[in-house]
């Protein structure tokens, strides 16, 4: 019994020393790590209007089509999640597959932007970026890949101007806001949007982040940081972790008037899917979305739940339409090993097959 006790004490002390050594090694790694491995795929600024910038990526291989593709992300997060790491870059994979890519960078709104409207974003900045690409390539139509809120905006644009869009890809984008599957959809229905916008003008990104984190508080505020200890001395693990942390908390504020209409008309009154939504006095009829549609959905997405994304396929007028689902979450759908192996190749092939 005495021997067992001594052994137990020795083992316990050994584990403590191992943990201490891991912590010391981890601090050394942390002090010298390079984790800003994002937004590294080369691109050039080709058009700018106020804070909106349009970039064209420098192709890694000869494009397999003359139809360029515009990538449009949400206003609420930064688009570099699609170019987060060289070995997980959705953008680089699409380029390698043979697409000619542009991307919109919405920027960070400041106080002077509080009166920017949804009309300004969709018919103004987005429409002008699309027209710039059409004019540059002397084409009537271009392709679009759109993510999250960007997918909602691009679908609205496609319904108003179907003659300018050849193929539309939506990824983890909301269209039917009546669902109660996700906490975000429940909370939004009772949000005092007018009070929030009137008080702040520019809705703070920190407010939006607190909402997103509250969806999975234990996982996002406790569990992942406990798990970090075991990988603290692993340079690759720590680099991935810190890169994702930077993106998660890099949330631009929201221009108040655009946010007001977006939340009240769509999240609270669900006007888009019901055919009641108007933009600039024009009714937005999803049946006017007649171009080929690929709707990509993450089955594990707790932010934009599948029930909010899937109804798009039944609402549009497209005859060539496809709904694909993958067992991934909201970020993993464009930043994971599965997105590299399956999702980006699927999107690229689907577009190339329809861009001849």
Kindly list the catalytic residues.
Answer: 148
Residues linked to residue 234 through DSSP beta bridges, in sequence order: none
Distance CA 97, CA 169 (A): 16
58's CB contacts (< 8 A; 6+ apart) are 41, 42, 43, 44
Give the integer Cα–Cα distance in Å for 13 and 355: 65
CA torsion angle 178 181 183 184 (round to 10): -40
Three-state DSSP state, 12: helix
What is the Cα–Cα distance from 221 to 237, expressed in whole angstroms? Answer: 18
CB distance 348 to 90 below 8 Å: no
C-alpha 210/C-alpha 217 separation (Å) is: 10
What is the torsional sign of CA 125, 128, 132, 138?
positive
Classify residue 16 by burial, with Cβ atoms within 10 Å: 0-12, 13-18, 19+: exposed
d(CA 84, CA 333): 12
CA 260 to each of CA 237, 266, 331: distance values in angstroms, whole numbers, following the listed order: 39, 10, 25
Alpha-carbon span 276 to 253, nearest angstrom: 27
Q: Using CA atoms, how far apart are residues 270 and 19, in angstroms rounded to an integer?
A: 52
Cβ distance 289 to 162 under 8 Å?
Answer: yes
Phi then psi for residue 201, to 5 deg, are 80, -65
């Amino acid at each position: 019994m005495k021997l067992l006790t001594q052994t137990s004490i020795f083992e316990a002390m050994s584990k403590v020393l191992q943990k201490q050594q891991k912590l010391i090694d981890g601090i050394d790694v942390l002090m010298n790590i390079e984790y800003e491995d994002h937004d590294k795929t080369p691109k050039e600024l080709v058009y700018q209007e106020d804070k909106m910038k349009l970039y064209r990526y420098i192709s890694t291989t000869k494009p397999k089509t003359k139809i360029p593709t515009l990538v449009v992300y949400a206003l609420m997060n930064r688009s570099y999640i699609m170019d987060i790491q060289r070995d997980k870059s959705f953008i680089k994979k699409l380029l390698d597959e043979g697409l000619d890519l542009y991307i919109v960078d919405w920027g960070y709104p400041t106080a002077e932007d509080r009166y920017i409207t949804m009309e300004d974003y969709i018919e103004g900045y987005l429409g002008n970026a699309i027209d710039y690409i059409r004019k540059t390539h002397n084409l009537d139509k271009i392709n679009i890949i759109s993510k999250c809120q960007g997918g909602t905006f691009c679908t609205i644009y496609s319904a108003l101007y179907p003659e300018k869009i050849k193929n539309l890809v939506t990824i983890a984008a909301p269209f039917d806001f009546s669902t109660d599957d996700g906490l975000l959809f429940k909370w939004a229905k009772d949000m005092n949007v007018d009070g929030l916008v009137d008080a702040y003008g520019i809705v703070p990104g920190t407010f939006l982040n607190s909402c997103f984190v509250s969806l999975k508080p234990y996982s996002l505020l406790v569990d992942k940081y406990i798990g970090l200890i075991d990988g603290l001395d692993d340079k690759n693990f720590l680099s991935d972790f810190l890169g994702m942390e930077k993106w998660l908390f890099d949330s631009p504020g929201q221009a108040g008037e655009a946010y007001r209409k977006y939340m009240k008309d769509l999240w609270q009154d669900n006007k888009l899917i019901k055919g009641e939504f108007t933009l600039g006095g024009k009714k937005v009829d999803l049946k006017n979305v007649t171009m080929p549609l690929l709707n990509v959905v993450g089955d594990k997405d707790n932010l934009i739940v599948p029930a909010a994304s899937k109804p798009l396929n039944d609402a549009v007028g497209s005859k060539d339409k496809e709904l694909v689902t993958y067992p991934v979450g909201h970020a993993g759908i464009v930043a994971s090993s599965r997105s590299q192996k399956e999702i980006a190749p699927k999107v690229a092939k689907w577009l190339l097959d329809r861009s001849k």
